[in-house]
Structure 1
């Protein structure tokens, strides 16, 4: 009977020992928190880029307003001319004006779409440049603070003030990335058709 108990104890040890050994190998978590929204909002390069992007957006909005006013004026003139016909077909000159208006309207839509795409591409390029620098900075700050995990402050329920390394990340980012290129992403080479 004792041999059966001994055998059962050895079997139980073998079953639980690997799990216990694995649990003992994982290091204790040493965590720091970063307010990434603040980093992206307050870094020097981020502020400069945001100001530039806002200027581009304002310019695009002004262009859209100008084009819209021009098209509305022309459309009203055409509607008046068509209404004066009282159901009759427009003559060649009016048809030409209508066709030209439709072309200007299409050109305006394409121009505004290009402006919007350009702004979105520029924003993506700014973000790409910051992201390329910030990953290594997180690692650097974690190493300096002896941490093995960094968590966004928005993903935590609560944390002690001493765990917040946002100022360290901001200082390093400002030092390593004083400015960014506020231009659209480089165009990808298009594959050649055969």
Structure 2
């Protein structure tokens, strides 16, 4: 019976219905979207960017307000140390001023780092809100324009303006995204791990 196995398989292969063959891929219709342009020019995006710029300016002002008194005190300490000469090393009052300056500088750096993290978190939150609505906006325009593939313009060397759907996506996004919050929710703290009861 084994000598009939190969011919039987060959016959079965030729007997396969036509539908079982690989299906033809549909013709490709490419659309191009300038993601960076949309993220920076949508109506709500412009307002959000202005508010983020204000936060950045406030951060710069905070850095200056923290740095100015530290610099003033540092210069005063250096001047006093030069006046005292070798005695500066054993001058307790001067050494206390140095210690206080170091503590104030550490506190200032910590405060500034916290504010920088807040501003960075706010910027990431703004981008998250934009991208959340950008994806369905692209899907909607793809369906209307019959596109099967959408590519970011920044990844292309050149493209025909006829396949650029940026304006359509921008209009759809403006309808979906009317406001953007520029203050991110406070990060959730990890719950404290419960201690496992010790076995007897």
Please tell me whether residue 161 in structure 1 is matched to residue 161 in structure 2: yes
Q: CA deviation at 1:137?
A: 1.0
Alpha-carbon distance between aligned partners in 1 of 2:109 and 2:80, rounded to the nearest angstrom: 24
Distance in 2 (CA, whole Å) between partners of 1:76 and 1:132 is 51
Query: For the Cα contact (< 8 Å) 1:124–1:185, is it kept in 2?
Result: no
Quote how far apart the aligned CAs of 1:186 are: 3.7
1:185 Cα offset (Å): 4.3
SS where residue 180 of structure 1 aligns? coil
Deviation string 1:85-144 (CA, Å, 9 cap, x unpaired) is 212234332222221111111111111111111111000000111111111111111001
Aligned residue number for residue 38 of structure 1:
37
Alignment gaps of 5+ in structure 2: 1-6, 195-200
1:182 positional shift:
0.2
Q: In structure 1, the residue corresponding to 2:86 is in which secondary structure? A: coil
Residues 39-48 or 85-94, more deviating: 85-94
- Distance (whole Å) between structure 2 residues aligned to residue 29 and residue 186 of structure 1: 44
Structure 1 residue runs of 4+, over 6 Å off? Answer: none
Write the mapping of 1:167-178 to structure 2, written as runs, cut at 5 A.
167-178=167-178
- Unpaired runs of 5+ residues, structure 1, are 1-6
Paired with 2:26 and 2:186, the residues of 1 have a C-alpha distance of 43
Q: Give RMSD over aligned pairs.
A: 2.2
Q: Number of residue pairs matched?
A: 180
Task: Check if 1:132 corresponds to 2:126.
Answer: no
Give yes or no for the alignment of 1:68 onto 2:70: no
- Worse-matched range after superposition: 45-54 or 79-88: 79-88
Task: Quote how far apart the aligned CAs of 1:190 are.
Answer: 1.0
- SS of residue in 1 equivalent to 2:85: coil
Q: Is the 8 A contact 1:32 1:165 kept in 2?
A: yes
